[in-house]
Structure 1
Amino acid sequence: MRRESRPKSSQFTCIPQGESYVLIRNILRYANRGLYVCEFLDTVSRELFDFTLCDGIEIFTLGDSISYNWSIDREKMNEPHFKRFDSEDSVEGKVKLACGKSMHELCEIVLKKKRTKGKKYFTKLGNLYIPDAGHAVEIDILYEKEWKKRVFKLETEYKSILMIHFEIDETNTSLIQLKSKKKNFFNPMEIEFYEGLMNTMGIAISDRRAQYCLRERMKELTCLYEISKILQEPKVSIEESSERMIDLIIEAFQFPDIVMVRLEIDGKIYTSREFKVTPDKIFSDIITENAKRGILEVFHKAPFYKKDEVFFLDEEQTLINAITRQIALILEKEKIEEDKETLHHQLLHADRLATIGQLVAGVAHELNEPLSSILGFSQLIKKNENLAVQTREDNEKIVKSALHAREIIKKLMFFAKRMPPQMIPVDLNDIVKETIYFLESHLIKSAIELQMKLSPEIPKVIADPSQLYQVLVNLVVNAIQSMDRGGILKIETIPSGEFVRLSVEDNGYGMSEDVVGKIFIPFFTTKKDGTGLGLSVVHGIVESHGGKIEVKSIEKKGTVFSVMLPAEKSEENKNA
């Protein structure tokens, strides 16, 4: 049961024990719930208004971890004022404790327990009670071993002001003002009770903060645990689980009602509902193998929440850092699994190529013998002087066809790598012509126009012909594959100082800068059925010949590969 009115007779009215017990129990119960600070102060203030019947309440908490001011008026209970202070300012005494210089100094006297003379305004515990603020308050204060009389004129609508200092914990202290618009509102027994009550208030403030922090840490740990479980689910991609993760992140923050989340991974963006960008945010990058793969951002919708200015906790930044590390680990794991699967298929493909190479070499060897017999017998027939003209012409066709077949078999032997490496002077133009002869039908089928510009002035290069065939075939085949709807293939040879330059240009799809930077890495491929070995082999062959290869590519316009090979030194240069 709460008091509805104050008795008019005795100024030493006792506080009803039952009511005081209910008040203390309620304050501790609210603290134990771990309410948000403004909710807690609002609820406790209403209890104090009902119990004390005062008209205004103001609470200051100062220290290295809790620093704020709360003030509320009975007539405007739905419009309280709440303001946080910088902890350093509060410790150094830079916080303004009240409106007006006089009220500020009086608050300082109580908070700092300054020595004063007389007991007119002070209780045994050093707290201050002004029964009539309409009159000047005279207090003798000790300043540096010297007593000085100070006169405080208070400009306030309140007549009775009770200031009580209480401790929250070892590093945080507080001051409460109970204010009434009536003179002589508080009697000595009430003041003594309120002084004791404030010890409970200090415990409650400390307990509320501990319970609130514990609940927030539990939310953060639960979020991290649940996200970890989601990311560990088999065959579930981050894209599929992004919505669940975002919901978990929102619930883990202290202001979930006004929190928005944006998650970006590899260019794909996932957001919470009703998302919009605001200035107030924290973020954490997703880094794998020293490369940024994405970012996790958390925003506040509004600058205020439950009468408090919103802010992010240090622990919330730590939380999103931990989440991005979890995501990065899963991305790395997915990349390893993808690379493992790709490597497995590439090795199978390479094995098939090796088997085909062996088969080709065997078939070529078997064909060489009958071809040699055909050529031999054709030569014998040719020596017969009595052959008819038509027979002689037919015999010549047989010889030419056999020689052509033998040339094809020779090229197959090159590609099957059954020919021993030979570093000999090579005419690059001949390599180009023979390679194109071999791939000409493929160009026609792909509706690709061939434009060759072979300089007759290029010197020879010292190279292994079979390896040069391999370089050119790889470059031409790549160009053909990039022009699946037809196009123009340009092949050019040009003398370039001490080098001979071979360029292969297409007007196909082209490549991005990122892809260009990776094309020579073994097993890197952008093709569905590619091995990722072709260009890495080309790069290795060119470098082993003392040359270099350059690439220029523009997406949707085409690509140019330029191979620079050292020219054969002339006799003059050899003797120099």
Structure 2
Amino acid sequence: MHTTEQKLKERIKELTCLYEVTSLIVNCDYDKVEHALKGIVKCMERAWQFDKETYVALKTVDFDLKTDEKGTDYVFLESPITTFNKPHGSIKVGYPAPKYSLEDFLEEEQQLLDNICLEVGNLLERKEIRENEVRIRRQVEQADRLRILGEITAGIAHELNTPLANILGFAELLEERVADDSQASKDLKKIITNTIFSREVVKKLMFFACEMPQEKETVNIVPIIEDAIDLMRSTLKQSDISCDLKVSEQIITLRIDKIQLTQVIFNLVVNAIYFSPPKSTISVHVADKNKKVILKIADQGSGIPEDVAQHIFEPFYTTKPSGEGSGLGLSVVHGIVKSHQGTILHKKNNPTGTIFTIEFPKT
């Protein structure tokens, strides 16, 4: 039996712990939640009756924190952490077994544990809400920038089309006239090659600005994606990279422009190849889920730095060395996806790399 003095001492420890936990949560920087959780775990270790032998383990989707172990086997009090009424993790407080049993825990200690789990869940909810607000704000800002850039690039593309067509036409005519002059022929070939390259850049600009006419039809997209990947087999082989395609079923129908879908696959896989190390695998997953089709392309490369992430869909923005990329690939993909009322997002792959997720509505 505990004396009145012992009971009072335990209540003081519990109230002190709850006060410290509340203070850590109130003053928590949402970018340093792990630091606050470590502090909470340490507070809890001191709050239990046999504090010298108490072991605390906090585990959530993102964190796995523990105090120093005092044995190999334990008896535990446990309470769940929930966020938005869904399980998110748990906190366990244990004593070494068989020295202690569940009867050695106080009823008030279970109540304290439940209260702490409730507070931790509230903290993680607020963190998630804040992150969602930041992400939505960035998406709105990015959509605004892309809309303005789309209008500008559409005008540029139209202005460049006519002079490029004239340069190409007259260069081809001159090529016939100077067939006997080898140096002039070489120079003209360079002009023609660079003009064709410039025309392709203009075409990408028009794709980005959604100025290219679409020919949508309801098709099975599986063979289209298979063909697009097959066309890149030689590039994959040269880079010593494999590409793994998985589909939820062999017939996945979608109303889409076939050429533009091919371009989306091309650009994303080519990007993945460029940033992937040898011997790695690029995964392409296609799933038909009720009212939408989900396309995921994951690589095992170096990933996208945080300071770059918000710019990757902007035209002419590239992290590749000069001459190795026009900076239009992802902006074209973004324009095509948006023109099909779809969404495109990216996140970190585990342990390294990037996952691009595209969702196309089926209606």
The 1-side partners of 2:145 and 2:354 are apart by 31
What is the number of equivalent residue pairs in this alignment? Answer: 304
| Aligned partner letter, 1:509 | Q
**1:271 maps to 2:66:** yes
User: In the alignment, which residue of structure 2 is the partner of 1:509?
Assistant: 300
| 1:416-495 superposed matches below 5 A | 416-423=209-216, 432=228, 448=239, 463-464=256-257, 467-477=260-270, 479-480=272-273, 483-485=276-278
Against the structure 1 CA distance between its residues 390 and 317, is the aligned structure 2 distance closer, same or farther, given a 3 Å change threshold?
same
| Aligned partner letter, 1:372 | A
CA contact (8 A) 2:81 2:88 kept: yes
User: In the alignment, which residue of structure 2 is the partner of 1:288?
Assistant: 83
Aligned-pair distance for 1:405?
Answer: 3.8
Aligned-pair distance for 1:423?
Answer: 2.7
User: In the alignment, which residue of structure 2 is the partner of 1:313?
Assistant: 106
Instruction: State the identity %.
Output: 28
Structure 2 counterpart SS, 1:371: helix
CA contact (8 A) 2:241 2:279 kept: no
Against the structure 1 CA distance between its residues 334 and 481, is the aligned structure 2 distance closer, same or farther, given a 3 Å change threshold?
farther
Against the structure 1 CA distance between its residues 419 and 254, is the aligned structure 2 distance closer, same or farther, given a 3 Å change threshold?
same
The 1-side partners of 2:153 and 2:169 are apart by 24
Aligned-pair distance for 1:317?
Answer: 1.1
The 1-side partners of 2:65 and 2:171 are apart by 75
Structure 1 counterpart SS, 2:105: coil
Against the structure 1 CA distance between its residues 226 and 449, is the aligned structure 2 distance closer, same or farther, given a 3 Å change threshold?
closer
User: In the alignment, which residue of structure 1 is the partner of 2:180?
Assistant: 390
User: In the alignment, which residue of structure 2 is the partner of 1:175?
Assistant: none
Q: 2:157 aligns with which of 344, 364, 385?
A: 364
The 1-side partners of 2:79 and 2:283 are apart by 48
| Aligned partner letter, 1:221 | L
CA displacement 1:125-174 (0-9 Å, x = unmatched): xxxxxxxxxxxxxxxxxxxxxxxxxxxxxxxxxxxxxxxxxxxxxxxxxx
**1:219 maps to 2:13:** yes
- Which residues of structure 2 form unaligned runs of 5+? 244-253, 285-294, 314-329, 343-348
The 1-side partners of 2:241 and 2:98 are apart by 66
The 2-side partners of 1:478 and 1:229 are apart by 47
User: In the alignment, which residue of structure 2 is the partner of 1:261?
Assistant: 56
The 2-side partners of 1:246 and 1:554 are apart by 27
Against the structure 1 CA distance between its residues 403 and 479, is the aligned structure 2 distance closer, same or farther, given a 3 Å change threshold?
closer
The 1-side partners of 2:210 and 2:79 are apart by 52
Aligned-pair distance for 1:467?
Answer: 3.2
The 1-side partners of 2:106 and 2:61 are apart by 28
| 1:406-425 superposed matches below 5 A | 406-423=199-216
Aligned-pair distance for 1:543?
Answer: 9.4
CA contact (8 A) 1:450 1:488 kept: yes
Structure 2 counterpart SS, 1:390: coil
Against the structure 1 CA distance between its residues 228 and 475, is the aligned structure 2 distance closer, same or farther, given a 3 Å change threshold?
same
The 1-side partners of 2:194 and 2:45 are apart by 77
| Aligned partner letter, 1:227 | V
Against the structure 1 CA distance between its residues 365 and 218, is the aligned structure 2 distance closer, same or farther, given a 3 Å change threshold?
same
Aligned-pair distance for 1:336?
Answer: 2.6
Against the structure 1 CA distance between its residues 262 and 411, is the aligned structure 2 distance closer, same or farther, given a 3 Å change threshold?
closer
Aligned-pair distance for 1:322?
Answer: 0.9
Against the structure 1 CA distance between its residues 366 and 268, is the aligned structure 2 distance closer, same or farther, given a 3 Å change threshold?
same
Aligned-pair distance for 1:538?
Answer: 8.0
| 1:33-112 superposed matches below 5 A | 37=2, 40=3
Q: TM-score, normalised by structure 1?
A: 0.41
User: In the alignment, which residue of structure 2 is the partner of 1:300?
Assistant: 95
Against the structure 1 CA distance between its residues 239 and 376, is the aligned structure 2 distance closer, same or farther, given a 3 Å change threshold?
closer
Which has the higher mean CA deviation after the structures are superposed, 362-371 or 471-480? Answer: 471-480
User: In the alignment, which residue of structure 2 is the partner of 1:336?
Assistant: 129
The 1-side partners of 2:89 and 2:268 are apart by 34
CA contact (8 A) 1:223 1:248 kept: yes
Structure 2 counterpart SS, 1:317: helix
The 2-side partners of 1:504 and 1:330 are apart by 31
Structure 1 counterpart SS, 2:180: helix
CA contact (8 A) 2:207 2:336 kept: no
Aligned-pair distance for 1:350?
Answer: 4.5
The 2-side partners of 1:256 and 1:490 are apart by 49
Structure number with bigger Rg: 1
- Which residues of structure 1 form unaligned runs of 5+? 1-35, 41-207, 453-460, 492-502, 511-524, 545-552, 567-576
Aligned-pair distance for 1:233?
Answer: 1.4
| Aligned partner letter, 1:390 | D
User: In the alignment, which residue of structure 2 is the partner of 1:530?
Assistant: 309
| 1:142-157 superposed matches below 5 A | none
Q: TM-score, normalised by structure 2?
A: 0.60
Aligned-pair distance for 1:320?
Answer: 0.5
The 1-side partners of 2:128 and 2:117 are apart by 16
CA contact (8 A) 2:277 2:300 kept: no
Against the structure 1 CA distance between its residues 275 and 333, is the aligned structure 2 distance closer, same or farther, given a 3 Å change threshold?
farther
Q: 2:27 aligns with which of 233, 243, 248?
A: 233
Cα root mean square deviation, aligned: 5.4
Aligned-pair distance for 1:378?
Answer: 5.1
Aligned-pair distance for 1:212?
Answer: 5.5
| Aligned partner letter, 1:285 | P
Against the structure 1 CA distance between its residues 250 and 463, is the aligned structure 2 distance closer, same or farther, given a 3 Å change threshold?
closer
Please identify which structure carries the higher helix content. Answer: 2
